[in-house]
Amino acid sequence: MYIGFDYGTANCAVAVMENGQPRLLPLEGDSFFIPSTLAAPSREAVSEALFRHYDIKPADKIGEQLLRRSISANKDDDIIVDAHALQFGQQALDTYLNDPDEVYYVKSPKSFLGASGLHDIQLSLFEDLVCAMMANIKHRSENQCGESITQAVIGRPVNFQGTGGSKANQQAESILRRAATRAGFKAIEFQFEPVAAGLEYESQLQEDKTVLVVDIGGGTTDCSVLQMGPGWLNKEDRTEGLLAHSGSRVGGNDLDIALAFERIMPLFGKHSTNQRGLAAPISQFWNPVAINNVAAQSDFYASANLAVLQQLVRDSAEPALLQRLLQVYHHTLGHQLVREAELLKIALSESSSASTEIRIRQETLPISCTSHELAEAVSSNADKISSLINEALSQAECAPDVIFMTGGSARSPMLRQLIEQRLPGVPIVAGDYFGSVTAGLSRWAEFCFR
């Protein structure tokens, strides 16, 4: 049996084809979407749990080395890796929010797959993280279908990283393929996510059109210019209709991070000065919320950074603010701060202002934001999205007949307005913001595996 598998930065989803139409499978209760999150008692518990309770063995000698280290570390720390050690989706997020100190929590490992400078052991850990998530989703999907699933078309962005080029893309796709193979898939194909979204939109077309697909997902924004419609449906080779592709690692997560940095981190000392009037290093406020940046997270939570933060508190003209930053360090609260920013952003997709509260020990910190403040906070990211549209249109050397917007962040009125201003008069169609890619992947899976 085959599936279309959207292994997304924010959420994962799976679809099958039934009677010529995609059907998304419930993956978490009645929801078709499961957050791309994982929680475990320790980082090392992931590799050990895969081996002990999922019967998934390491793929190579580096993986074996990681497994031996993990088992030893868990034993030394008296961590018991039982059958329930790994948690996924909303359950993983709830566990983290309930007690950040006592859990290893990962959101969106897809964001890291194309990162440069990773050591072999880090690549092996990311492969284990992805494998665990894929195995969990495969198992849930098989429970829904009542049969084994061995074939999958997996979606991928045009570019996993903005600066890594083809090498980063090869690294990321290799991790996905190896993880999927270890999770039990026997035949694996990949398809660009914007192309998949376009394939789903194409099913509605009554005549051939040139379509600009703008897919603003959790981790990346991808644009494709495609020739689509009834005249293209039955063609075995559609290469001539794939006119242009552009993509970069700028998506919903980046908007959340930018909003957290601009609107939340001032409550933790950003913009404050020391007693001599000098500003604190800006990296100390960026790194904790840069949850999709391995180096930034490592630098902030490094043991050596504790002394730096403590000195900042002593020197600060507003030490109470910097004390809050210390709490972020001690209780690993970066993900929680970005989550609050994400909720603000979502609320602002339906209202011109929104507010929330953050609890830091005994304090309750009120936070508010307007649509204008959101636009200011994410302006540099919005400019990157505009540049990607320009790049795709320049490659295609033609104007689109219609714009198809998809991806969770495509709901933003601000981003829709940006595209309207760039291409005035071109109609914009919004599909299923979260399900179009998954549905299109299942259509392509039918083409690949029929």
Cα–Cα distance for residue pair 18/23, rounded to 1 Å? 7
141 and 223 belong to one structural domain: no
296 within some domain? yes
439 within some domain? no
Report yes or no: 15 and 450 within 8 Å, Cβ to Cβ. Answer: no
User: Given this model, what pLDDT does residue 404 score?
Assistant: 97
Q: Which residue has the higher pLDDT, 295 or 192?
A: 192
Q: DSSP letter for 261, please.
A: I
Across the strands, what pairs with 105? 39
How many other C-beta atoms are found inside a 10 Å radius of the C-beta of residue 446? 16
274 and 177 belong to one structural domain: no
CATH number at residue 88: 3.30.420.40
133 and 280 belong to one structural domain: no
Cα–Cα distance for residue pair 95/100, rounded to 1 Å? 8
User: Given this model, what pLDDT does residue 289 score?
Assistant: 97
Token pair belonging to 43: 């980082």
Cα–Cα distance for residue pair 93/87, rounded to 1 Å? 9
107 and 236 belong to one structural domain: no
User: Given this model, what pLDDT does residue 99 score?
Assistant: 86
User: Given this model, what pLDDT does residue 162 score?
Assistant: 55
| % residues pLDDT > 90 (the chain) | 87
Cα–Cα distance for residue pair 398/85, rounded to 1 Å? 53
User: Given this model, what pLDDT does residue 450 score?
Assistant: 83
442 within some domain? no
Return the closest-CA partner of residue 212 out of 434, 428, 408: 428
171 and 212 belong to one structural domain: no
Report yes or no: 196 and 185 within 8 Å, Cβ to Cβ. Answer: no
pLDDT tens digits, 119-147: 999 999 999 999 999 999 999 999 999 99
216 and 174 belong to one structural domain: no
User: Given this model, what pLDDT does residue 171 score?
Assistant: 95
Q: Which residue has the higher pLDDT, 189 or 362?
A: 189
Return the closest-CA partner of residue 116 out of 174, 62, 59, 160: 160
228 and 163 belong to one structural domain: no
229 and 134 belong to one structural domain: no
Cα–Cα distance for residue pair 173/156, rounded to 1 Å? 8
81 within some domain? yes
448 within some domain? no
Say how many domains are in the chain.
2
Q: Which residue has the higher pLDDT, 267 or 98?
A: 267
Using pLDDT thresholds of 50, 70 and 90, give the confidence band for residue 55: very high
210 and 164 belong to one structural domain: no
303 and 388 belong to one structural domain: yes
Report yes or no: 189 and 177 within 8 Å, Cβ to Cβ. Answer: no
Domain end among 185, 217, 251? 185
Is 90 exceeded by the pLDDT of residue 101?
A: no
Report yes or no: 162 and 249 within 8 Å, Cβ to Cβ. Answer: yes
Phi and psi angles of residue 410, each rounded to the nearest 5 degrees, phi first: -70, -10
User: Given this model, what pLDDT does residue 392 score?
Assistant: 97
Q: What is the mean pLDDT of the chain?
A: 94
User: Given this model, what pLDDT does residue 249 score?
Assistant: 86
Using pLDDT thresholds of 50, 70 and 90, give the confidence band for residue 342: very high
| % residues pLDDT > 70 (the chain) | 99
pLDDT tens digits, 374-402: 999 999 999 999 999 999 999 999 999 99
Cα–Cα distance for residue pair 348/335, rounded to 1 Å? 20
122 and 233 belong to one structural domain: no
Is 90 exceeded by the pLDDT of residue 116?
A: no
Is 80 exceeded by the pLDDT of residue 161?
A: no
Domain span holding position 343: 206-431
User: Given this model, what pLDDT does residue 431 score?
Assistant: 82
88 within some domain? yes
Using pLDDT thresholds of 50, 70 and 90, give the confidence band for residue 279: very high
Mean pLDDT of 169-196: 97
Considering the entire predicted model, what is its pTM? 0.89
450 within some domain? no
Return the closest-CA partner of residue 423 out of 432, 431, 415, 434: 415
Mean pLDDT of 72-78: 96
269 and 347 belong to one structural domain: yes
101 within some domain? yes
